[in-house]
Structure 1
Amino acid sequence: MAKHIIGSTRELIPGQKKIVSLEGISIGVFNVNGSYYAVKNSCPHQQAPLCVGKVSGTTLPTKPGEFKYGREGEIIRCPWHGWEFDLTNGHSLFDPNRCWVKTYEVEVGQAEEEAPKLETFPVDVEEERVIVTINR
């Protein structure tokens, strides 16, 4: 299991998303009200780029004749056919036990300080001359 740093929490504020490619897999990382979730950027219906779809809320269970809207920012809608998925667990809203999108674990931690990388070049000494070789 490889871990990949995709950015800082300052870059991914609540309501924002970032689509990244990790190990050849397109993944959307979402900040939902301060919690982070990652889902595969592929709708299971016809492999549309799910993470470019609209993020919104949904209607909630209520008594007949009532209308209640909630879960703002937790639901993603496929841009091609409107299939909706819960970003917090990947399950579809219409059939959560049989249709879902792949999710990935997200951690928020202290970034280790990376030492600046210095570009180096091969050096040879020939007949008391120092020669630097640059291969591009």
Structure 2
Amino acid sequence: MAKVRTRYLAARVEEFEKKDRMIVELKGIEIGLFLVNGNYYAWRNICPHAAAPICEGVVCGTRLPSQVYQYEYGRDKEILRCPWHGWEFGLTDGKHLVESGVRLRGYAVEVEGNDIYVLM
């Protein structure tokens, strides 16, 4: 039997006109909403490494795989860096950039008109 999820109004589209993220509280849980390449993503505001407020970290890019002594930068504004220990996660999939089994806790997001909903 499928788990029934409830949709919670988290934000409005116009709130993202001048910023790329918001931290909201839904059902007593802090969630970071991020706008990345025109899509919205929701991540629980807890780093799986040491419970830091991950969604307060720097949004940046990273070095891409390249040849020896070549440093190619990419994925600009798609990486979230933990403010405590620098662990980096992809904002579009929640995966840690190095440890394949580590990821952020994510939630589905739906946009209806100007309203942004998180499914929990």
Q: Is the structural similarity TM-score above 0.5?
A: yes
The answer to whether the 8 A contact 2:32-2:43 is kept is yes
> Larger radius of gyration, structure 1 or 2?
1
1:26 aligns with 2:36: no
The answer to whether the 8 A contact 1:57-1:69 is kept is yes
- In structure 1, distance between residues paired with 2:77 and 2:19: 6
Query: Structure 2: where are the runs of 5+ without partners?
Result: 116-120
| CA RMSD of superposed structures (Å) | 1.6
Q: For the structure 1 residues 24 and 18, does the alpha-carbon distance in structure 2 shift closer, same or farther, using more than 3 Å as the test?
A: same
Matches within 5 A, 1:79-90: 79-90=83-94
More strand by share: 2
**Runs of 4+ with >2 A deviation:** none
Aligned residue pairs, count: 111
Query: Structure 1: where are the runs of 5+ without partners?
Result: 113-136
* Structure 2 match to 1:41: 45
Letter paired with 2:70: E
**TM-score calculated relative to the size of structure 2:** 0.85
Q: For the structure 1 residues 111 and 74, does the alpha-carbon distance in structure 2 shift closer, same or farther, using more than 3 Å as the test?
A: closer
Q: State the Cα deviation string for residues 29-53 of structure 1 (Å, max 9, x = none).
A: 0001211111110001110000001
